[in-house]
């Protein structure tokens, strides 16, 4: 999947182009509809939407735990499977985004908890590999 | 405008039928429906057929007969069967045809559905990251709903328990053994808060319904089961859907959001000229236990949060005030996408005819409701009246 890796900062390779800003730490990129002002995620290709850096802070809107390895294709994660948290994070006044929630025990997850954006590796065993959108409990962000 | 009547029904048992293709399961259902209606294949003027992954339904004419009839293929996520029926009844309501077929079948491999991002206008990375998994959405939807409206995990278990208990009496159902509530609640988790018994499985099966104008139905001498409403709608703004990387922020998020089901349901009641309180039994999309609970409210049968009491009081049991998923629903029958919505209508016709045996809703029911929901936010509803 080399062709889908894009360099961000010095070490991070985002899973897709136009997903994270070049800032350190990076922010998630959404798209503002040039006509209606509606913010969407991810930012669509083309001229209809203007890329916008989304808020780094949000609250957990809902979640679940993915307990089995998704089918490949399309899943490109590691063969070795550990359950992970699928989160929907509300970025106030902007959009609710689907992402991973990491660095928290499953039993400590609560709807309404404060979280911060911090990309995580698709393969936890390869911390400098492909990075995907993720959040951590607020206060623990880099 | 003529009322549309259902004059023939046929089903190929759901589950796993090794060695029989999806198309052949559909053909089997069509032959049963023709026999039930007392007509022959050349009498059928048109068909709408749905299959998601078992081939194009119009190829059935190779098996059934090359009569030159009109046959349209329908694909609409898990609402495909409902959409085929919606389309078929329009052809009769228009006055163009008198006698036609809505048919659905499917045959899925074991495990989760094989959805790909490109089929839903999504970027490749969304699938790479592991989000093309329907169970994630359904679990996250009920997780928020439980927090907002005070639904307990035990209620999820009770829905699944009822499904397997009802299916014992449904010859077409896949899983026909009761499962104890405790076993359901303590089974391995698939996607929190759901254990493996709280999700349906992709499956196989076929269903066929013969539709006729009222005039034609009277000629055939069949009991008149009228299709008082069949609606199909897509999602409104701000809804929360399967295969969606985002949800809109709304100013006040303390109430339920709009859904395709809410619109399709309201439309159906308006067309039928009756309300939820007039419905005697309902088949509600239950691809997972919480969906049945949420769809009770989305289809207008109760307020959000009332489900906890409804279940505790047994109101959705056969014999309750509103029996729901009398044949075990998707939880017990499994889900062959193209056939699933039509199975619900098949079951409703069986119930209205009084032919449901051990799962028969008592009291001579006169109205029945069906509802399906599918990706990426489509719903179809029917109301039958005897």
Pick among A6, A42, A83, A88 to test the B interface (most B CBs inside 10 A): A88
Pick among B111, B116, B126, B128 to test the A interface (most A CBs inside 10 A): B128
A4/B123 Cβ within 8 A: no
Shortest alpha-carbon distance between residue A37 and chain B (Å) = 12
DSSP output for B30-72: HHHHHHHHT--GGG--EEEEE-SSS--GGGGHHHH-----EEE
Q: Which residue of A has its CA nearest to B237?
A: A38
Q: What count of other Cβ atoms lies within 10 Å of the Cβ of residue A93?
A: 9
Are β-strands A95-101 and A134-137 bridged in parallel, bridged antiparallel, or unpaired? parallel
Name the region of B202 (left: φ>0; alpha: ψ -120 to 50; beta: rest).
beta
Q: Model ipTM?
A: 0.91
Q: Which pLDDT tens digits describe chain B residue by residue (386 residues)?
A: 678 999 999 999 999 999 999 999 999 999 999 999 999 999 999 999 999 999 999 999 999 999 999 999 999 888 889 889 999 999 999 999 999 999 999 999 877 677 889 988 899 999 999 999 999 999 999 999 999 999 999 999 999 999 999 999 999 999 999 999 999 999 999 999 999 999 999 999 999 999 999 999 999 998 899 999 999 999 999 999 999 999 999 999 999 999 999 999 999 999 999 999 999 999 999 999 999 999 999 999 999 999 999 999 999 999 999 999 999 999 999 999 999 999 999 999 999 999 999 999 999 999 999 999 988 889 999 999 99
Chain A CB contacts of B140 under 8 Å are 62-64, 86, 88
Where are the strands (E) in B240-293, listed by range?
246-248, 281-284
pTM: 0.94
Element (H, E) at B216: helix B214-220
The token pair at B152 is 């307990």
What DSSP designation does B310 have?
Answer: H
A64/B129 Cβ within 8 A: no
Element (H, E) at B11: strand B4-15
Q: Spell out the residues 6+ positions from residue B354 whose beta carbon is closer than 8 angstroms to its own.
A: B360, B364
B248/A106 Cβ within 8 A: no
Domains of chain B with bracketed CATH: 4-110+205-220 (3.40.47.10), 118-200+228-385 (3.40.47.10)
Chain B CB contacts of A57 under 8 Å are none
The token pair at B143 is 């997780």
Chain B CB contacts of A92 under 8 Å are 249
Of A41, A70, A106, the CB nearest to B130: A70
Q: What count of other Cβ atoms lies within 10 Å of the Cβ of residue B67?
A: 13
3-state secondary structure of B16: coil
């Amino acid at each position: 999947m080399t062709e889908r890796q894009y360099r961000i900062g010095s070490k991070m390779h985002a899973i897709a182009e136009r997903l994270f800003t070049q800032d350190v730490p990076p922010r998630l990129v959404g798209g503002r509809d040039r006509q209606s002002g509606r913010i969407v995620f991810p930012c669509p290709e083309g001229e209809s939407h203007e890329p916008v850096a989304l808020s780094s802070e949000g609250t957990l809107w809902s979640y679940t735990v993915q307990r089995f390895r998704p089918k490949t294709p399309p899943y490109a994660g590691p063969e070795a499977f550990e359950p992970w948290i699928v989160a929907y994070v509300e970025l106030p006044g902007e959009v609710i985004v689907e992402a991973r929630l990491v660095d928290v025990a499953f039993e400590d997850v609560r709807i309404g908890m404060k979280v911060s954006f911090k990309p995580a590796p698709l393969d936890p065993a390869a911390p400098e590999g492909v990075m995907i959108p993720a959040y951590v409990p607020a206060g623990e962000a880099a | 405008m003529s009322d549309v009547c259902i004059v023939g029904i046929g089903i190929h048992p759901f589950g796993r039928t090794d060695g029989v293709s999806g198309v052949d399961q559909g053909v089997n259902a069509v032959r049963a429906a023709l026999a039930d209606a007392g007509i022959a294949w050349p009498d059928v003027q048109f068909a709408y057929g749905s299959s998601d992954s078992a081939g194009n339904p119009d190829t059935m004419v190779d098996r059934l007969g090359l009569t030159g009839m009109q046959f349209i293929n329908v694909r609409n996520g898990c609402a495909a069967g409902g959409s085929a029926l919606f389309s078929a009844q329009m052809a009769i309501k228009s006055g163009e045809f008198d006698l036609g077929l809505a048919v659905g079948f499917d045959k899925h491999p074991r495990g989760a559905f094989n959805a790909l991002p490109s089929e839903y206008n999504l970027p490749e990375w969304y699938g790479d990251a592991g989000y093309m998994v329907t169970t994630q959405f359904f679990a996250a939807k009920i997780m928020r709903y439980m927090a907002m409206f005070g639904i307990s995990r035990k209620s999820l278990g009770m829905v699944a328990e009822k499904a397997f208990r009802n299916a014992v009496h449904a010859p077409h159902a896949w899983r026909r053994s009761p499962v104890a509530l405790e076993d359901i609640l303590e089974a391995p988790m698939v996607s929190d808060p759901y254990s493996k018994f709280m999700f349906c499985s992709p499956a196989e099966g076929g269903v066929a319904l013969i539709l006729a104008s009222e005039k034609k139905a009277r000629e055939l001498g069949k009991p008149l089961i009228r299709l008082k409403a069949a609606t199909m709608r897509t999602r409104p703004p701000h809804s929360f859907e399967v295969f969606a990387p985002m949800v809109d922020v709304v100013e006040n998020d303390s109430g339920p959001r709009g859904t395709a089901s809410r619109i399709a349901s309201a439309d159906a009641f308006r067309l039928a000229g009756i309300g939820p309180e007039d419905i005697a039994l309902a088949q509600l999309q239950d691809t997972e236990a919480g969906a049945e609970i949420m769809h009770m409210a989305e289809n207008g049968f109760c307020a959000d949060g009332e489900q906890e009491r409804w279940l505790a009081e047994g109101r959705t049991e056969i014999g309750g005030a509103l029996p729901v998923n009398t044949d075990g629903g998707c939880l017990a029958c499994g889900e062959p996408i193209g056939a699933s919505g039509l199975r619900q209508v098949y079951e409703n016709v069986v119930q209205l005819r009084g032919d449901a045996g051990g799962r028969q809703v008592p009291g001579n029911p006169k109205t029945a409701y069906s509802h399906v929901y599918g990706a990426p936010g489509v719903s179809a509803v029917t109301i039958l009246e005897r």
